[in-house]
Structures are given as C-alpha cells and as structure tokens.
Chains A and B, each alone.
Chain A
Amino acid sequence: MDHNAALTTCSTSAIPRLARLATERIAELIENDALPEFDHKVIASCSNDIFEVLRQKKKLNHQTLQTMCSTSRFQINKIDLMGNKVELQDLELCSNQNLVSFRLGDIDYFPNTNKIQVADVLDTALNRTSRQQLRHLDLSGRHRITSNWPTYVARKLPRLESLAFANRSTANETLSQIGASLLNLRFLDISSTCVTDISCISSLRNLEVLIMYNLNILKGDVTETLSNLTKLRVLDISRKVNTDYLQETSQDAHLDLALGIYNRSVEAIESGTATPWAELRAIDMSGLSIVQFGTDRALAFVEKIIEAHPKLEQISLLATPLDSSLIEIPNRNLQVINTVSRRSIIFALSHYANLDRPAFITHALHSVYYQLQSGYDKFSQEELKECLRLVCISMQQGLNTLPVQIAGSACLYHLCKMKRIKRLSVKEVNNCIERSLDAAEQYRSMTQLQKNVWLTICNDYLLHLDEIDFYRTCKVALDTMLLNRDASVERMTIAIVSIVTPKMRPSEAKILTTETKYVYHLVKIMNDYLEAYTREHRVGHERDNENALYTLKFTLSALWNLTDECPATCKAFLDAGGVQIAFRILKAFDYHGNVQTKVLGILNNLAEVEELHLGQLCKNEYISVLISCLDGSFNEVDSKGRYREVERSYFAAGILANLLTNTDGWESENQRDEACEKLLELIEQYPTLPSAMVSYKSFIPFSRIVRESNSNGAIMWCLWGVHHVLQHREKNKAPTYEKGYIEMFMDSGLSPIVEDMSHGHSKHIHNLDIRVVHLAREIIDIVSCHSLSSSPVRLVRRV
C-alpha cells in the first residue's frame, strides 16, 4: 500500500464561485459605506456569509454593524465577533437581529471590574426572540469574564444546546452551575480553562460533544463521570505537549483519563459487553504522553480502545508515541490522524488548521516542512495546492502564535522554492506573500522568522509577477529593515525594496518616499557597509567582502529608486549626509563601475531638485570626480551585454547637466565652461546601444532643462536621453505611463522646442551647438516616422 498516494479529493477550480465573489464585493461595499439601496431582504445564509467576510477582515465596527444588523436589509441569525474590536454600544446593534448563534470574542467592556460582564453583554446583544431561540453560545476568549453567567444563561436561554468558553479563566464553580442547570446541552467546550474537576457534568446526559483540550483535571473520578455521558459521539482529551517537570502531577492526573477509557474498553471486550460510549465516533488523544508504555504497548493500548468502540470513525494521535506509526484495523473504516504519511499529514493539518490548537498545528506544519524539504518531486499538483492552502489557513488563524508562524513560513519558503512556484497560480503565490508579510509584521524582531519570510519573497519569479501588492511588500520590507539589523535579513529586505519600489503605483510610492526615516536608515547602511567593505577588504575574507558589496549595491539601488522624482526623499538624503558618503563611495569604488553608476543615479536625482540648491556639488573636488566619471571606454561590453561605462558616464553627465542649469555655485566660469564642453564631447561619443539602459516615469526633468538651460552640454544630455528611450520604445515600456514614450514626449511640451532646435533655433540660448541640432533632428525623425524597432530591453535599474 502506497501511503503517499495522491489524495482522492476532487480538484476544484481556482475561480471562486459567483456567490462568493458577490459576497466579498458586498462586504467591500459595506466596509466603504457604499452599499446601494435595494428593495429586498437578503436571506439568512447569504447575510451570515457577508457578516463572516467582514469579521475575517476585522472590519466589524459601528458603521458596518449598523448596516449589517439593519432588519430592512439583512436577516442574520449567526453573529461571530471574534477578533474584532467591538464595544458595548455596538453590541446593541446585534439585538436588531434574531439569532440562533452568538460568538462573543474579546470585546472591550470592563465596567468597574477587570472582567467582561457576561450577563450585561448578553442582555445588550440578544433581543427577546434571540434569547428564546438561541442554540449556540460561544464565550471563548482570553479576557477574564464574570463567573456567575451560567445562572443567567439557564434562566434566559432555554433552548441553548451548545456552549463554549475555551481559554477563559473559568474554574470549577462555574462548571458546577452549568452541571446543575444546563441539562439540555449537547455540545460543551471547556478547553484550556482553569477547571480541575469535571464531576458535576455527569448530569449533562444529553452531551454528544465534549471538548476538553489541555485541561488539567486533578480531582474526581473522571471515568465514572464520563460513563454517565452515554450519548457522547465526540470526545476530545487531547493535550498540549508539555515537558515541564513541575506539572508532573497534572500530567499523571490527565493520563488517568485515557487510562480509564482503556480500562473500560478492556472490561467491555473481556465481558462481551459495550462501553458506556457506544455511540462514540471520534476521539482526540493528540499530545498525550503515553510514553511509559512504549510504542508497542501504546499501540496495543489504542487498539483496545478502537476495538471496544465499533462505531469509532476517527482517532487523533498527533504528537503521541504513535505519531509515526501505521495503524490498520481490518474491516474498520477508521481515520487515524497522525503523521505516518504525506497523505495523513495533510489530513492532520486540515483537521486542526481551523481549530485553536497551535501546538498541533505547529506539529503538523513541521511534518509538512520535512515532506516538502525531502520530497521535492513527490508532491502531486493537488497535494501541493492543498498544502499551500492549509499552510496559509494555519498561519492566518495562528497569527498570534510564534511557533505556527515560524513553521508556516518555513513551509512557504519550500512551497515557493525553485521550480515549485511555477506550479502555483498567481493567486496562490499572492496568498503566500500575504501570509509571509502578516508574519513579518507580527514578529519584527524575530530573526529566524524574518529570514524565512524574506527568503521566500526574495524570489525572482515571484517579484516579477504583476499582481503582487508591491506597496505592502515594500513597506513591510522597509519597516523590517529599520527594526532588524541581522545582516542577512537586512541584505534581503534592501534587495526587495530596490526591486519593488519602481513597481509601485506613483501614489503609493509617494506615501513611502515621504517617510524620511527610511532614507536616513539607508544612508546609515551605506556608510556602515562602505566602512565595512574598506576595512574588511583583505585576503581571507572574500565572502564577507562579497556580502558587504552585495548589500551596498542593493542599498544604492533602493535609494536610487526612492529618490526618483521625489524632492522630500532627496532632501532627506542630503540632510542625512548622503552626498558626502556618496562621493566617498565614488572614490573608494573607482574600479566598480556598477557601484559608481548607482551612486551617480542617486546624485542625479538630487541634482534635478532645484529647491535643494546644491551649490556644494560645484566644489572642485566634487566636479573633478564627476568629470572623471564622464570618461570611459564606451564601446566596451561586459559579459551580460551591457555598456557599463556608458551608463556610468550618462548618470554623471546628468548630475552635471542639472548643476549647469540650476546652480550658481560654480567656482569659476572656466570650471563651468570646461564641464559643459566635456559633456558635449563625451556624449557625442556614446554609441548606439542595442537595448535600453534606463527607463523614465516622465520627461519632466528633461523638459525643465531644455526650456531653461543656457548650457549646450546640459541640453545635449537631455536630448540624448530622450533619443535613447524613444529609440528603444517598442521593447522598453515606460513605467506607469501606459501610452508610451512617444506620447510622453508629445505631452511633455518638448516637441515644439526640439522642433525649433532641429532647425538651429532656440529662444534662450544664442549659440546652439551643431551637435545639439543634430541630435534634435534625429529625435524629430523618430517621432515623425514612429516606426523604429528596438532590441530587447535591458534596464539599468535591475540588479
């Protein structure tokens, strides 16, 4: 038998149902308070679904509740407030609907005492009809609640059948009240409470489901108590894995429960009778440390329990000595939940993913991780998709549990690793990214988690998809960069920032680039790695040198993109001392044209900003560096087919062009004339490149210089840049300007000016250089013909 055979579940389409799409759209409209008027009530099932979408998005507030609880529009019979910040006055809105199910969650209501006043809350949220018909009440949560609420429930909620108060600090007294008064209960969940004695529930003879996860029972005859619950169909006695020696006593007490069931089972088998739980269908024993029996005896132990309960359909043994054991019972259709096979692991994760069982979820995720790591090609398409879906659900549900996030993010890394990612739909990849970013935001200083996240997202294929939320990705990366100085995390986050910044929409990019804290930090990193590089650049430390250089390059790329046409960011860079550091890098990396090009790109962006008054850049020491960067062997091509020295020269020229136009800080007229002549001379030598080395969001910087500058060299630089992107416009799309470079040129106002220049005329420069005239003519020819083709795109801002 192949235990790793593909799941037999049907493959479902990735396209959501129309009902789901409409539900989500309506929820969005309600969230934005934009729901149109309509003339009919929405049926309960649809209303409940819309409400649930809002809850999951944590968008339940006064406004959305007011809309949803309007009786003229929606018919809600199930309200779940878990995870949302709801106040008492908002609960009044719930009383507009007639409910059969109510889940409270942790609301912010602590009048006088430090406890949620359950009776008050229920009085507020439930109208008379709701109280009369309510069947399901879930009071689970983390905050303290009053202890006498069962009396209220017994008096006011006569039809109640299902009750949960997991994770509350509820003790035996409250349970006693329940046992004395809520005799109709069929479902009871007292998991992770302070209950230590369950004797009083022996009177709840209608119970069919009893959930006692992580309960420390210390007193009473548990087995005898349970033997009175003859209608039990589901019993959960699972326990969080606990190695704390100090809780040995409670562990022993808990073992009695499983042992008691075993003993009753043996008695039944030997006597040929049934146990008290003849109707038992499912039992959860996960996490129980029956280790003292050893694996073989543990197996015999479990087999007796199974044998004694002929209707048993499911037994959970995750994180027990039988976690990896194959359990097969002849002639029984029994589902065993453990990690014996890939199939069973996936099933285990599906079983616990939506439950509040972080320890078991983590355990299952670890097993998934090992399967993903060791069986790269063994996952079928269905298994891979199911794995991803379950990992994402687990991470979403367990956002506040670090082990879940660490294990889940490790799984996501492997799901997106190498060629595997190409087997996923874009929507699935997006889900991976969103869950990863959620985790990164939740645990910013947890280095291992951050590494998992950014290793996942640092994926060429992933980062070049068009449907990613680039804004959020960039923002989370920037915030992580500020808070986590681990070298590898820093390297990855900076790389991601440099890649995704130009992909954001302009309005989104502006939000981020106006945050000066990011730029200040990046400038600091520039300086740190410059110093580290120069200090560590010695024999025997090549790897450190390489890492430092790598980080520096990405830092520069990020700053280059962040400062692009953003005066606020440019000013922040200047104020942070970035200019001085930039020129130090230009000198230190004299033989690294790539690094120099990035630095020059940043300085070029600064030089475009007139308000900065960068007169300081006209110092001889800076101008001489820039002029030296102008020069180069322009016909040399590197191994990737790029004309690196043209790129470097072009960006150095851009700085000078802007300085020639904007500033009066030149030390002498001769210095200025020399720079201008140098520009003309060297730009004329640029070869025609086979592909684009740069892309522009707009021609505004060019337009300003061409309109205002009295420097032939500056204008020459602009015209060459325009000519370059026009020449390769077919395969080098203008980012964020869908109409393309021809339209950009026409819309920029450059056209009539360049037209005049092509005829040797200019309104503001008397002696137009013939080289400028020639270039202007070429541009006009391109625009007129509008049909030149170009070579494949090679963007200089790619790293």
Chain B
Amino acid sequence: MDKNGSAAGGFQAASNKDDGLEEPDSQKTGAKPQPVPISGLEGPRSKYVKLVSNDDHEFIIKREVAMTSKSLRELFANPTVDLAAANNTVYFSDFQSHILQKVCHYLAYKTKYRHSRVAPPFDIPPDIAMDLLAAANELEC
C-alpha cells in the first residue's frame, strides 16, 4: 500500500499503517494483540502528537512540546488532510528510533527549561552526535 501525501523535510504525514489486513486472523495460531487506541491524538488541536521512527518506534508527545521544532510547528499549524486522517502522526523515514528519542528528549528539555535561569547540561553521547546534528537541522530545532 502506498503512503499518501508528503510534508516538509524528509518526513511524511501519512495514514495509519495498514498492517495485517492481508492475513485473516483465523489463519494465525497466535494472533497479534491489537494496539490499544490512545486518546488525545485526534483533531487539529489534539493534546498529543505521534512521531514514528523508520524502525517503527512510536513517540507520543505533547503538542506544545513538538512545537519547539520549527518544522513540526509549521506542519501542525497548517495540517494537511492526510495529517488529520493519520491522527496527527508524522513518519520520519530518515530517523532511527534512538535518534528520534533523543530529539524528543531535547524538545521536552527545552520546553521545561525555556524560562529557567538554571538549566542542567543536555548530554549528547558521542556515538549519536553526527546523526543528531542532521536531525536537528531537518527539524529546525
């Protein structure tokens, strides 16, 4: 199934992944449990948004936290039909989960300490520094 639509940068706003429809449940000896739906992701003013890495790890964060990224801010401020249909989910084809996780940490860090006089140092492990730089530039944060 092809993903529809595209968004700024290297990520796409797409519909929910249609996984497993080709295989009827009755044919499985141990059916995969259905994902539990998470409230708060619907609508243009949802409380949360979802970011998905290229290895299918999902990160659900507060919308206000995501707004720290200029790219995400612009995306969610002017949502496409596909983004709305996807329950405010953004897929990142270039980011692995450990990178996207660190990005989320930074977004939360900045949100928390934005107006503080004292902010603890934000540690960046050596092995992800280069990838994190690329991600930060793409997300403009």
Q: Tell me the A residues contacting B by CB distance below 8 Å.
A: 13-15, 17-19, 21-23, 25-26, 29, 34-36, 38, 40, 42-43, 45-46, 424-427, 467
Which residues of A sit under 8 angstroms from B136, Cβ to Cβ? 17-19, 21-22
Interface centre among B115, B129, B131, B134 (most CB of A within 10 A): B129
Chain B nearest CB from A12 CB (Å) reads: 10
Interchain CB contact (< 8 A) of A36 among B110, B116, B126: B126
Contact A18 B106, beta carbon cutoff 8 Å: yes
A-B contact pairs, 26 of them (CB 8 A): A13-B110, A13-B115, A15-B113, A15-B119, A17-B136, A18-B122, A18-B136, A19-B140, A19-B141, A21-B106, A22-B132, A22-B136, A25-B124, A25-B126, A35-B126, A36-B129, A38-B130, A42-B130, A42-B133, A42-B134, A45-B137, A424-B117, A425-B116, A425-B117, A426-B117, A467-B118
Q: How far is it, in angstroms, between the C-alpha of A35 and the C-alpha of B110 when the chains are bound?
A: 26
Chain B nearest CB from A327 CB (Å) reads: 38
How many chain-B residues does the 8 Å CB contact rule pick out? Answer: 27
Q: How far is it, in angstroms, between the C-alpha of A38 and the C-alpha of B130 when the chains are bound?
A: 7
Which residues of A sit under 8 angstroms from B127, Cβ to Cβ? 36
Chain B, residues 98-122, CB within 8 Å of chain A (1/0): the string is 0000010010011001111111001
Q: Tell me the B residues contacting A by CB distance below 8 Å.
A: 103, 106, 109-110, 113-119, 122, 124, 126-127, 129-137, 139-141
Q: How far is it, in angstroms, between the C-alpha of A17 and the C-alpha of B130 when the chains are bound?
A: 15
Number of A-B contacts (CB under 8 A): 72
Q: How far is it, in angstroms, between the C-alpha of A43 and the C-alpha of B135 when the chains are bound?
A: 12
Chain A nearest CB from B33 CB (Å) reads: 35
Chain B nearest CB from A286 CB (Å) reads: 36
Contact A18 B141, beta carbon cutoff 8 Å: yes
List the B residue with the shortest CB-CB distance to A466: B118
List the A residue with the shortest CB-CB distance to B137: A19
Q: How far is it, in angstroms, between the C-alpha of A164 and the C-alpha of B118 when the chains are bound?
A: 42
Contact A46 B133, beta carbon cutoff 8 Å: yes
Contact B130 A34, beta carbon cutoff 8 Å: no
Interface centre among B114, B127, B133 (most CB of A within 10 A): B133
Known: A19-B141, A46-B133, A426-B118. 4 other contacts (CB 8 A): A19-B136, A21-B122, A25-B129, A26-B133
List the A residue with the shortest CB-CB distance to B114: A13
Which residues of A sit under 8 angstroms from B139, Cβ to Cβ? 18
Which residues of B sit under 8 angstroms from A40, Cβ to Cβ? 130, 134
Which residues of B sit under 8 angstroms from A17, Cβ to Cβ? 136, 141
Contact B141 A26, beta carbon cutoff 8 Å: no
7 nearest A-B pairs in the assembled complex, by CB-CB distance: A19-B136, A22-B133, A18-B136, A38-B130, A425-B117, A25-B124, A18-B106
Which residues of B sit under 8 angstroms from A426, Cβ to Cβ? 117-118
Interface centre among A18, A22, A40 (most CB of B within 10 A): A18
Contact B137 A15, beta carbon cutoff 8 Å: no
Chain A nearest CB from B138 CB (Å) reads: 10
Q: How far is it, in angstroms, between the C-alpha of A15 and the C-alpha of B106 when the chains are bound?
A: 10
Q: How far is it, in angstroms, between the C-alpha of A18 and the C-alpha of B130 when the chains are bound?
A: 12
Which residues of B sit under 8 angstroms from A46, Cβ to Cβ? 133-134, 137
Contact B141 A38, beta carbon cutoff 8 Å: no
List the B residue with the shortest CB-CB distance to A49: B133
Q: How far is it, in angstroms, between the C-alpha of A36 and the C-alpha of B110 when the chains are bound?
A: 26
Contact B110 A38, beta carbon cutoff 8 Å: no
Q: How far is it, in angstroms, between the C-alpha of A22 and the C-alpha of B115 when the chains are bound?
A: 21
Contact A26 B130, beta carbon cutoff 8 Å: yes
Chain B nearest CB from A30 CB (Å) reads: 10
Which residues of B sit under 8 angstroms from A26, Cβ to Cβ? 129-130, 133
Which residues of B sit under 8 angstroms from A25, Cβ to Cβ? 124, 126, 129
Chain A nearest CB from B2 CB (Å) reads: 27
Chain B nearest CB from A51 CB (Å) reads: 13
Q: How far is it, in angstroms, between the C-alpha of A746 and the C-alpha of B117 when the chains are bound?
A: 38
List the A residue with the shortest CB-CB distance to B135: A18
Which residues of B sit under 8 angstroms from A424, Cβ to Cβ? 117
Q: How far is it, in angstroms, between the C-alpha of A135 and the C-alpha of B11 when the chains are bound?
A: 35
Which residues of B sit under 8 angstroms from A22, Cβ to Cβ? 124, 129, 132-133, 136
